[in-house]
Amino acid sequence: MTLPFLKMNGLGNDFVVVAADEAPFDPSPAEARAIADRTRGLGCDQLIAVTRSDRADAGMRIWNADGGEVDACGNATRCVGWLLMEASGRDTASIATGAGVLLASRAGQRMVTIDMGEPGLEWRDIPLAWEMDTREILLDVNERLRAPGCVAMGNPHVVFFVPDVDQAPVNEIGPRVEHHWLFPERTNVGFAQVVGPAHIRLKVWERGVGQTRACGTGACAALVAAHRRGLCGRAAVVELDGGELTIEWRESDGHVLMTGPVAVEFAGHLPDRRPAA
């Protein structure tokens, strides 16, 4: 039995979204890598399975391009939320993820807001190898990249603040920091330029994927990290290579809201075969 999928993206951060509510779908790391492979597979940053859930409108599982399963992906959650709202005709949808139940709501034509919940700000939340202040951790890559902030948005993020994001060595430093011993579960690595109190430019090296055109949880982490250091307000437009997200760290309850577009590229069925390990 083959499973239907949609190829979708949020600001160019692209996904193969599999409908797994009627049939089991539990790919091995090798199978997930084969689907994500841009040369021989369908090609994507993340593989997403939409499943049944007894605690939300649907469940969502996430595999990075390297085949590892993770708990959170903000842009993919917007895509799944939009699909659920289109199917139900309602303006809200709940999605059970490894990071908890997240609420999606309509914010315009193919625009979705996700309530990402409260950010994790303690060192154990990231997690880090030992206790330190996550506003500015003790990590100096070089004289220009030092003392980044750390935020957990259902997945770990480290955020370096840079004067010009276009000059940031994302592909050089990203993998080094992702695998640094300070991060026992590895980490996503953001390079943020605070342009003004409500404008951040951002590039992200994603754990298990590499540099992507956009990262929703990375945008949330950048806003939170910047505000904690007095660099911006509680709301900002975060400009990524693929477009813009609006992020708000709500003062009333501490929740982070992420708003942005979704796009559908094409539909198909997964091939009924298993790749070599």
CATH assignment, 4-115+262-269: 3.10.310.10
Helix, coil or strand: residue 156? strand
Residues paired with 237 in a beta bridge: 199, 246
Within this chain, domains 4-115+262-269 and 149-254 share the same CATH topology? yes
Characterize 174-195 residue by residue with b for buried, 16 or more Cβ atoms within 10 angstroms of its Cβ, and e for exposed.
Answer: bbebbebebbeebbbbbbbbbe
**Residue 24 confidence (pLDDT):** 81
Residue reference for tokens 């391009």 = 65
Distance between CA 257 and CA 181 in Å, rounded? 31
CATH number of 149-254: 3.10.310.10
Residues recognised as catalytic: 73, 215
pLDDT tens-digit map of 129-179: 999 999 999 999 988 899 999 999 999 999 999 999 999 999 999 999 999
| DSSP calls for 94-116 | EEEETTEEEEEEEEETTEEEEE-
What pLDDT sits at residue 21?
81
* pLDDT at residue 272 in the model: 65
CA atoms within 13 A on the CB side of 151: 24
Q: Is 167 helix (H, G, I), strand (E, B) or coil?
A: helix
- Closest by Cα among 128, 134, 220 to 177: 128
Nearest 5°: phi and psi at 251?
-75, -30
DSSP label at 163? S
Domain ranges of the chain: 4-115+262-269, 149-254
Numbers of helices and strands, H then E, in the chain: 4, 17
User: What pLDDT shows up at residue 143?
Assistant: 84
Q: Write down the mean pLDDT value for the chain.
A: 95
Q: Which residues of 125-156 are buried (b: 16+ CB within 10 A; e: fewer)?
A: bbbbeeeeebebbebebeeebeebbbbbbbbb
| Cα–Cα distance, 4 to 257 (Å, whole number) | 30
Taking 70 as the pLDDT cut, the residues of the chain under it are 1, 272-277
DSSP state of 166: G
Cis before 175? omega within 30: no
CB atoms within 10 A of CB 243: 15
